[in-house]
Structure 1
Amino acid sequence: MVGSAARSSSSRLALLVFTAIIGLFTALLSLPVATTDGTRTPFVDALFTAVSATTVTGLVTVDTGTHWSTFGLVVIMISMKVGGLGVLTLASLLGLSVSRQMGLAQRVITASETRAEKLAEVGSVLRTIVITSTSFELLTFLALTPFMIANEHPLGESLFFGMFYAVSAFNNGGFVPEAAGTAQYLADPYFSVPIATAVFVGSLGFPVILVLVGKWRTPRKWSLHAKLTLATSGILFLAGFVVHLVMEWSNPATLGPHDIGTKVLASAFAAVMPRSGGLSTLDIGALHNETQLFTDLLMFIGGGSGSTGGGIKVTTFALLILALVAEARGDRDVEVFRRSIPQETIRQAIGVLFMSAAVVFVATFVMLRITPFALESVLFEVLSAFGTVGLSMGITGDLGTAGKYVLVACMYVGRIGPMSLGAALALRSRTRMVHLPEERPIVG
């Protein structure tokens, strides 16, 4: 009974704590000390930035490198770290450090966020998450700091930029501390490779990372979720790489003027970022329509389950494709990697797909009514917000107050997840005791 009650309340608790954390960071970013000129940031922009950082999205309405002071950038970096770990995970870690033990209810709630398979493993999973995430961030920091020094940044600034980029990359935050942005590093592998690697690993999700860390020598013992996430993520990366390389090869505004090595590097970097990374070395607004459309799809899919990414998630997309293949073949069961997928899981995937599509449709419809921008720009922005990606066609800063609030809602729902949000807002849950007679309608 305790476990059942804890599971039913975990979504509401996550919603309340997440909202409170956003409120705290909004207040901090509203302080005059958070800006370079010492003035207060308008509430809507402070809220937008706090939500974007805590949901690890990366969309901005003010220029990060020029508007925010060092204090403001530190607040944003902490927000990304908190959002990447998860507020309930962080709360459980703090409680564990104080009391040295966790109650059953706390274990159940934490397990729902960390995706731990056994309640007894929650404590060790939490420690592994912190150690693993910190290690990846440290490695990225060590790779980027010498690069920053070599690019003639002062030592203190190089250390700060290295840490900021490391946190932003692994947690898929998408924020850039430099006024010049990341386009300046288009042809530089010493920046692109560490950043893209950190983004890709972070987008896999902690359930997969934990499997890789603990069982990297025995792939046959990997969980079905890990195998499915890795396989699908690899396919999506290759597809994104090919589309960017082929479609933009001769585009004079993107890859056209560059040599083959730069084209390959930039295409690989661009293929990783729609997972939820949000950093870009190419001008998104200058991409061909076909490339933008494919990026829309990648952003809607998002990252892995249990990761910082939004969207419908990689495994959801994979299960839907597998279900379509099974239906086309006339197979009764959906099977992959010598395992059969329960029908309840397929139903959940379908539910996530349609609820996510509904959120994107409503948000796009509203944005078209209240902004002067074209459909392709609005849809791209909404998908980037819902997928907590952070890529933009350059219209975010020009949105009115109402448009900014719509994107805030998209980022919030995208990070929480439409299914989790629905469960949290449900007035009550019940188990039906009566099963009505079946009758099959005509489909197709």
Structure 2
Amino acid sequence: MLRKIVRWFSASPPRTLLLGFGAIIFIGAMLLKLPFAAVNGQSMSFVDALFTATSAACVTGLVLFDTGTYFSTFGHWVILLLIQIGGIGFMTMATLFALILRRRISLKERLILQESLNQGSIEGLVRLVRKVILYALALETVGALLYTARFMFDMSFGQAMYHGVFHAISIFNNAGFDLTGDFRSLTGYSTDLYMNVVSIVLIILGGFGFVVLADLFEMKKKRKFSLHTKVVLTVTAALVVVGAFIIFVFEFTNGRSIGNEGFGEKALISLFQSVTTRSGGVTTVNIAEFRQATQFFIIILMFIGASPGSTGGGIKTTTFAVLVGAVLAMIRGKEDVVLFRLRLAQERVYKAVTVTLFCIGIVMLGTMVLSTTEDAAFLKILFEATSAFGTVGLSMGLTGELSVAGKLTIIFLMFIGRLGPLTLTYALGPKAGRPLYRHAEGKIIIG
């Protein structure tokens, strides 16, 4: 029986990804369940350990216990390792070890890597893995140095370096875990320009995706960006600017959030929230104090999320761009979706629609289940479900109040959100064959 199960999982790259990711989360949960993973020396329940491990491996950031005060140094390093593996990808890490050991990467492993990195072909995958590791470690190192320099004003050099490394890895991977204590996140640095700029840059770079990072770092060599990079950069910039403006306007007079701050501080806080809501997970203000209109707008940003092949979740910026392009094409009476003077294949449009509807269905299902198991306001529940699926990690305070059924639901949402709904469907669904016939064309009234 065990041999059949292993053979079934190894039959396709999506299934292997599903098994590998699940195995990492399980191992992480068992390590976090150990008594010395907590400061008080007491073992947490398996469900709580599984929740924390899933949140870390899926780079989400929803927490049941305060990371800075509840977990020991061992617990911190387990969480950090899960974040790093989850952010870069476990197959990327496995390939790194294979390259270190000078082992040949097989065709099957390249196919799994192709699925993991969301690439269209296996050409140049090993070279891309090298770039992924190099860029990630370089950016995390720079981030750790910058954070350490700032934390040295608040604590000793050893503590500053420890906090710097942890926050650099967590924030670059859009994980949202922090060591500030008392569930404060970065609220103590809400008007600190240095901390805000460093965090914003790390979140955005982590959310671009490694293919875009490769294009940016090799701009002098290539002298032009791919269509994918152009779309990611354009949509990201538009969402950040529009998001910051809307949050700024909606919260301008709200004394419980940013209403009592100066104009410049309001703009800085609004900009940070616009960036972090699409997958960052850390926050400089209490989201629960925002107006309902702002909270609902944040839900929309969380649902869109980061970019393909990145450390973030959501339906992705490129999917959003294709949907907007399809709507504009329909309004103009055009058959083709054109972005930057390039026509998109119809299959890309179908996939964007499929991903969006699938994700809406999953969020709706999760929200319905949580509405049944949890005694909380609907907007609070919808916010939590979207945050979990988008692997964002922001919360309006519901996470710590979840029932066992609610925790399992959030675990399910985080897992699907990080793995990707289509990957899960391909993994569990039957193997598609080539159709032997096509049906006659029919007409249906739309709208």
2:289 to 283, 286, 289: 286
Q: Indicate which of 397, 422, 427 corresponds to 2:425.
A: 422
2:176 paired with 1:174: yes
The residue aligned with 1:198 is: 202
Q: Please tell me whether residue 324 in structure 1 is matched to residue 327 in structure 2.
A: yes
Instruction: State the Cα deviation string for residues 289-320 of structure 1 (Å, max 9, x = none).
Output: 11111100000001101112111111001100
Q: Tell me, in whole angstroms, the C-alpha distance in 2 between the residues paired with 1:9 and 1:98.
A: 25
Deviation at 1:96, TM superposition (A): 2.2
Q: Among 55, 58, 64, which residue is 1:55 paired with? A: 58
How do 1:60-71 residues align onto structure 2 when only pairs under 5 Å count? 60-71=63-74
User: Could you tell me the TM-score, scaled by structure 1's length?
Assistant: 0.96
Give CA-to-partner distance per residue, 1:141-178, whole Å, 9 cap, x none.
11110110112x12211111000000011100100112
Matched to 1:214, the amino acid is E
TM-aligned CA deviation for residue 214 of structure 1 = 1.4
> How far 1:228 sits from its partner (Å)?
0.5
Which one-letter code corresponds to 2:374 in the other structure?
A: T
Counterpart-to-counterpart distance in 2, 1:7 and 1:249: 54
Using the size of structure 2 for normalisation, the TM-score is 0.95
Alignment-derived partner of residue 3 in structure 2: none
SS in 2 for 1:376: helix
TM-aligned CA deviation for residue 253 of structure 1: 0.8
Q: Secondary structure at the match of 1:119?
A: coil
Indicate whether 1:438 and 2:422 are aligned: no
Identity %: 38
Q: What is residue 301 of structure 1 aligned with on the other side?
A: 304
Unaligned stretches of 5+ in structure 2? 1-7
Q: Secondary structure of the residue that 1:251 maps to in structure 2?
A: coil
Q: Is the 8 A contact 2:17 2:112 kept in 1?
A: no
The equivalent residue for 1:398 is 401
Inter-partner Cα distance in structure 2 for 1:222 and 1:50:
37
Q: Is the 8 A contact 2:110 2:122 kept in 1?
A: yes
Residue pair 2:277, 2:302 contacting (<8 A) in 1 also: yes
Q: Counterparts of 1:338 and 1:154 in 2: how far apart (Å)? A: 55
Equivalent AA in structure 1 for residue 274 of structure 2: A
Distance 1:404-1:410 versus aligned 2 partners, 3 A rule: same
Aligned ranges 1:352-391 → 2 under 5 Å: 352-391=355-394
Change (3 A) 1:115 1:211: farther
Work out whether residues 17 and 87 of structure 1, in 8 Å CA contact, stay in contact via their aligned partners in 2: yes
1:160 has 2:158 as partner: no
Counterpart of 2:339, as a letter, is: V
Partner of residue 105, structure 1: 108
Q: Specify the alignment match of 1:187 in structure 2.
A: 191
SS in 2 for 1:433: coil
Following the alignment from structure 1 to structure 2, what is the Cα–Cα distance between the partners of residues 242 and 306? 27
> In the comparison of the two structures, how many residue pairs are matched?
438
Aligned-CA RMSD value: 1.6
Match of 1:132 among 130, 135, 139: 135
| Residue number among 198, 219, 235 corresponding to 1:215 in the alignment | 219
2: distance between equivalents of 1:142 and 1:63?
A: 24
Shift in alpha-carbon separation, 1:272–1:279, aligned structure 2, 3 A: same
Match 1:91 to one of 63, 77, 94: 94
CA distance in 2, matches of 1:37, 1:7: 41
Q: What displacement does 1:218 show?
A: 5.4
Is residue 9–residue 16 contact of structure 2 (8 Å, CA) maintained in 1? no
1:238 equivalent in alignment to 2:241: yes
Shift of 1:101: 2.7
Return the alpha-carbon distance in structure 1 between the equivalents of residues 193 and 160 of structure 2: 17
The change in CA–CA distance for 1:116 and 1:332 in structure 2 (over 3 A counts) is closer
Q: 1:378 to 1:216 in 2, by over 3 A?
A: farther
Task: Tell me if the contact between 1:54 and 1:80 (Cα under 8 Å) persists in the aligned partners.
Answer: yes
**Structure 1: where are the runs of 5+ without partners?**
none
Tell whether the 8 Å contact from 2:9 to 2:19 is kept in structure 1 after alignment: no
Q: How far did 1:217 drift? A: 6.7
Q: Using the alignment, how far apart are the partners of 2:61 and 2:345 within structure 1?
A: 36
